Amino acid sequence: MGTTAAADAREGRAGRPADEGRRGRPRRRNGVTRMDKIRIVGGNRLNGTIPISGAKNAALPLMIASLLTDETLTLENVPRLADVNGLQRILVNHGVDYAVNGKRPGEDALAGQTVSLTARSITDTTAPYELVSKMRASFWVIGPLLARMRECRVSLPGGCAIGTRPVDLFLMGLERLGAQIDVDGGYVVARAPNGLVGGRIVFPKVSVGATHTLMMAAALAKGETVIENAAREPEVVDLARCLTAMGAEIEGAGSETIRIQGVDRLRGARHKVVSDRIEAGTYAMAVAMTGGDVLLENAEADLLGEPIEVLRRVGAEIVETNRGLQVRRNGHGIVATDVETQPFPGFPTDLQAQFMALMTMAKGTSRITETIFENRFMHVAELARFGARIQLDGQVATVEGVERLRGAPVMATDLRASVSLVIAGLAAEGETMVNRVYHLDRGFERLEDKIGRCGAVIERIAG
- Residues annotated within a binding site for phosphoenolpyruvate: 56-57
Q: What are phi and psi of 404, to 5 degrees?
A: -150, 150
Nearest to 358 by CA among 318, 316, 410: 316
Listed residue (139, 111, 145, 330) closest to 220, CA to CA: 145
Helix%, strand%, coil% for the chain, nearest 5: 30, 30, 40
Cβ atoms of 352 and 399 within 8 Å: the answer is no
Annotation marks residue 160 as catalytic: yes
Within 161-245, strands assigned E span: 180-184, 187-191, 200-202, 224-228
Rounded CA-CA distance 330/333 in Å is 6
C-alpha span between 395 and 375 (Å, rounded): 8
Going by the annotation, the residues of the binding site for UDP-N-acetyl-alpha-D-glucosamine are 136, 165-169, 205-208, 350, 372
The amino acid at residue 423 is I
Amino acid found at 164 = T
Contact between 81 and 445 under an 8 Å Cβ cutoff? The reply is yes
The annotation places the binding site at 56-57, 136, 165-169, 205-208, 350, 372
Going from the C-alpha of 336 to that of each of 114, 172, 315, the distances in angstroms are 41, 42, 9
Q: Any idea of the CA torsion for 88, 92, 96, 100, to the nearest 10 degrees? A: 40
Of the residues 152, 160, 242, 454, only one is catalytic, namely: 160
**Residues in the chain, overall count:** 463
Amino acid at 210: A
Whether 343 and 206 have beta carbons less than 8 Å apart is answered as yes
* Separation CA 213–CA 196 (nearest Å): 13
DSSP string, 376-431: --THHHHHHTTT-EEEEETTEEEEE--S--B--EEE--SHHHHHHHHHHHHHSBSE
Spell out the residues 6+ positions from residue 151 whose beta carbon is closer than 8 angstroms to its own: 125, 189, 190, 191, 192, 193
Active site residue ranges: 160
